[in-house]
Structure 1
């Protein structure tokens, strides 16, 4: 049985919105505020995670973001690994996908079945709305939060209101580079 792993870049105050500044929120670009060593160490962690994945699960907008940034044609070990992984795009509006290896559009209602069909880690990048739906439906098995040392004070949060308490337990904590922290939580 597969495990859904949510992998998010998040500020200290829980903001996931506009990490690269492309949304024009006025508080974006926080991903770019880290130093070179932090960025290099972050990339190593992300590559390790990709090596451990059996599939990627994304929302429609995040999938389009990756395509728009050229991941389908990038070179290098990390890009090659992501290209080879099967990708599942959760969408209620898209009917086709393509352009980045083996990709299939699924409905949120199909994710529980996907967990039964895939052995190993199903990694979710970005995909704020999808992440909230997975947590609300108790489908997320683990959260890997890369914490950025910034308090933005505004922006879309990873965890807005939920229908109830979601207990988690800390299973890992490590420094990444000079200023980042990777916190890993499993379902309680």
Structure 2
């Protein structure tokens, strides 16, 4: 059975939306220094090495494609290309970034089935609209939050309205400015 990991870049006040400012908000993702960005990339690559599959929403899948991940070079890009990708979408997706399987229909049923079929870690990048029902329906097993030292003030938050118990299982400084917090989600 697969272990569903939600991996998010997040501000101190819980914002996950538009980290690069592409949709009109203030960019917080790009405000860290080069050394911190390199340390972040190392942590993300290590996570990808451990992953068995990627799960994402259509917008996040498109985001990766639009940023050239299909043609990037290097170990991290190669690893992400090689991983099976599952995309929650009601329409077909451009699969120019390696094999992508569309999960259409009821997201809870589709992801429950995916967890039964995939062995190992299923990592969810971004996908704010997708992660909320995964948390609400107790499908997520773990949260990995890369916390950026900024307060965005506005923007979509990660967590649903319902209270969900979690247990801190790991903390780590990434570079000099970022914190990686890992929580086990305990269910209802």
Whether TM-score is above 0.5 comes out as: yes
5+ residue gaps in structure 1? none
| Other-structure match for 2:153 | 153
Of 142-151 and 96-105, the range deviating more from structure 2: 96-105
The TM-score with structure 2 as length reference comes to: 0.95
Post-superposition, which runs of at least 4 consecutive aligned residues in structure 1 deviate over 3 A? none
Q: For residue 96 of structure 1, report the CA deviation from its aligned partner.
A: 4.5
Partner of 2:173: 175
Q: How many residues align?
A: 183
CA shift for structure 1 position 44: 0.3
Q: TM-score, normalised by structure 1?
A: 0.95
- 1:76 aligns with 74
Structure 2 Cα separation of the partners of residues 187 and 32 of structure 1: 29
User: Counterpart in 2 of 1:99?
Assistant: 96
2:50 is aligned to 52
Aligned alpha-carbon RMSD (Å):
1.0
CA drift at 1:17: 1.1
Q: Is the 8 A contact 1:97 1:104 kept in 2?
A: no
3-state DSSP class of the match of 1:65?
Answer: helix
1:161–1:53 Cα change, 3 Å: same
